[in-house]
A and B are shown apart, each in its own frame.
Chain A
Amino acid sequence: MPGAVWVIAEQWRGGLSEVTYELLALGRQIADDRGAALEAVLLGSGVVGLAESLGLADRVLYADSPAFAEPVGEVGSRALAALATERKPTVVLVPITNVSWDLVGLLPARLGVPLVNFCMDVAAVGDGLEARCLVFGGKMEVRAVPESEPVVIGVLPGARRADAGRSTKRPEVEPVAAPAPETCGVRLLGYEEPEAGDIDITQQEVLVSVGRGLQGQANLDLAEELAELLGGAVSASRPAVDMGWLPMTRQVGKSGMLVKPKLYIALGISGAPEHVEGMKDAALIVAVNTDPGAPIFNVAHYGVAEDLLEFVPVLIDKVKEHKS
C-alpha cells in the first residue's frame, strides 16, 4: 500500500476552517484512486472534539498542546516535519489560507521535498500526481507534475465543496506526540481586530465593489451613488483598501471578508484568486472591466468590457429611470 495522503486540518480561533473539509474531499479522492489511506493531521490545544469531526479521513492524528493553540508557521512546520519524517506520508495537502500560509512554504523547505502551489485540483495519474494550478493572478492555468514524492501541495480554497468533505462517521483518532519547540525565533503576542463601527459588508444584500481600476478615491462617489440606488454598500479589493480609499472592513477576499450578497457588482477588479475566494458564492455577479480577458469574467454571470468611468454614470441614469 502506498504511503498515506495527509490533509493538514486548519484550526483557528477554536474551530476548523471550512477549507479543511474541502481538502478532505479532495484527499479522499486521491487516496482512493491510489489505494492509500487518508489521514487528517490536526495541531491544536484541546482539539479532540474537533478531531472527531473529520470523519471522511480513515484516521486522524492529533497533537494536543498549548504550544499549538495558535497557528504559527514556525511552530507548526517543525512539529509536522518531525511527524512526517516518522510516518512517511507521500502526499501532504495544505490549504493556502492566511492561517496556513507560512506553513505552505516552511513545511516543504524543512522536509526538503517539492512544493506544488496554487492548486485548484489534483488527480492521481498512473503512479504519480497531476495538479491543475492557477498562476498570473488567475489569468493562466497550468498542469504540473511533481517529479518525486513525498510532495507538499498547496491547495486553493474552493477546490471541492466543503459539504463533500463532511461525514457523520467517527474516524479512528490517534493522539501523537509532536515536538513543540521551546524557541523558534517568532512569538505571537496577540491579535488586533479590524476597527469596528463601519458597515458590515457580510450583511449586505447588494455590494458594489471597487478595485484598482477605479483609479482614484475621487471616483468613489460613482460607486457610492450606484450602491445607494441599489440599496447596498460599497466594498473593495485589496489595492483600493491599501491605497486608503476605503477602510479594511470593506475588503473582500482572503485577508478580508467572505461575502455572499444577492448582487455583487465588480468594478475594475481583475479577479485574482485571493479576491474571488471572498465573493464567488454571490448569487449574481456582474463585472465591469476594460480587459475582456480579465479572470473576473470567469466567475461573473454577466460581463461588461467597458471603461467603468464611462459606463457607471450611464448605468446610474438608467437605474434612476427604471425606479421612477
Chain B
Amino acid sequence: MKTLVLLKMVPDVVEELEVAGDGASLSRDFLRLIINERDENALEQALILKERHQGTVTVVAPDAPEVDDVLYTALARGADRVVKVTGLEEGVGSAEATVTVAAALSSVAGLLPVDLILTGCQAIDDLDGLVGPLVAHQLGLPYVGIVTGLDVHPGGMGRCLREYPGGVRGSFELDLPAVVGIQGAEKPPRYVPIAKVRAAMTSGTIETVAGSPPGALPLRVVEMKKPEVAERAEMIAGGLDDIASRVCEILAGRGLL
C-alpha cells in the first residue's frame, strides 16, 4: 500500500484576521498558520491504513511558514517520506499553489504511482480549491469526497463512507488507485510526544522540489473584507451577572422562560 497525503497550511481562524494594505488579501503580520484541520485527518487515516496493511505514507505540502514543523511531526507520527514544494508565492490561499502542487506531483521521483491519494475534503482558505478532484482528473483516477472512513480490501478494492445530509452516509466501493477527500479519520489524530518530533528533526529529512507556478490565474480577487451583514448581533456587555440577567429578560420577553 502506497499512500500519498497532500496537505497545506492555512491561517488559524481562531486568531484575529486582518486585511492587508492591498485590500484584497490577508495581512501576514501576526498571521498564525496551522495545518488545515481536514488534512490532519487525512494524514491520520493514511497512518491507520499503513498500520493495518503495511506500506508507506508520503506527505507533500507547499512551502509555508511553520510547514517544516508539521512535516517533521508527520515523520514522528509515522510518515515515511515528506516532500516540500517550493517557489510558490507564500503558499497560502493562492490558486497558484493549488495548480502547481497538482502539477508538481508527477515531477517528484518515485512518488507516483500510488494506491491512494488522500487530501482534505476542503481547505478553508481558497476559492477555486478542490485540489482532490483536480488531481484525480489530471491522473485519470476516480474521486470521492467528504469521506469519514476508508479501508482497503483484498484485491485492491477500496471501501469508504461518504457523508450525505441529515447524518446519512453513503457506502462506496472504489477501484484503486483513487483520490479521496477526507472529512474525518476513523480516530482523532494521534498525539506524538515532543521528544519524538525533536528526534525526527535530527534524523529525518524534508525533500524539496521546485514547483513552477502557472502564468495566468483564472480568478481575480478584487476585495477582501470582514463580512457585511444586515444585522449583527446586539452584544450584551457588563459583568457576568448583568449579562445573565439581561439574557433572562430577553428570554422571558419572548415567553421562553
Contact = CB atoms under 8 A, between A and B. Distances in A.
A248 B128 contact: no
A77 B14 CA distance: 35
Interface stretch (B58-66, B199-207, B212-220): B212-220
Main secondary structure of the interface of B (DSSP, over half): mixed
A177 interface: no
Interface stretch (A23-31, A50-58, A139-147): A139-147
A139 B178 CA distance: 33
A186 B174 contact: yes
A262 B173 CA distance: 42
Given A98-B164, A186-B174, A189-B173, A303 B128 contact: no
A147 B222 contact: no
Interface stretch (B74-82, B190-198, B228-236): B228-236
A197 B176 CA distance: 37
Contact of B244 (A73, A116, A184, A311): A311
A319 B174 contact: no
B109 interface: no
A99 interface: yes
Contacts of B229: 298-299
A251 interface: yes
A4 B93 CA distance: 31
Contacts of A314: 240-241, 243-244
B136 A187 contact: no
B254 A139 contact: no
A104 to B, nearest CB: 7
A192 B168 contact: yes
Contacts of A319: 248, 251, 257
A299 B19 CA distance: 22
Category for how many chain B residues contact A: 35 or more
Interface in A33-89: 70, 73-74
Contact of A135 (B124, B183, B223): B124
Given A106-B143, A189-B173, A116 B128 contact: yes
A130 B132 CA distance: 25
B26 interface: yes
Given A102-B144, A106-B143, A186-B173, A311 B240 contact: yes
Interface of B: 11, 13-14, 16-17, 19, 24, 26, 93, 121, 124-130, 132-134, 136-138, 141-146, 161, 163-175, 178, 181, 183-184, 188, 216-229, 231-237, 240-241, 243-245, 247-248, 250-252, 254, 256-257
In the complex, the 9 A-B pairs of residues with the closest C-beta atoms, listed nearest first: A185-B142, A105-B130, A105-B133, A194-B167, A114-B218, A303-B233, A109-B137, A300-B233, A318-B244
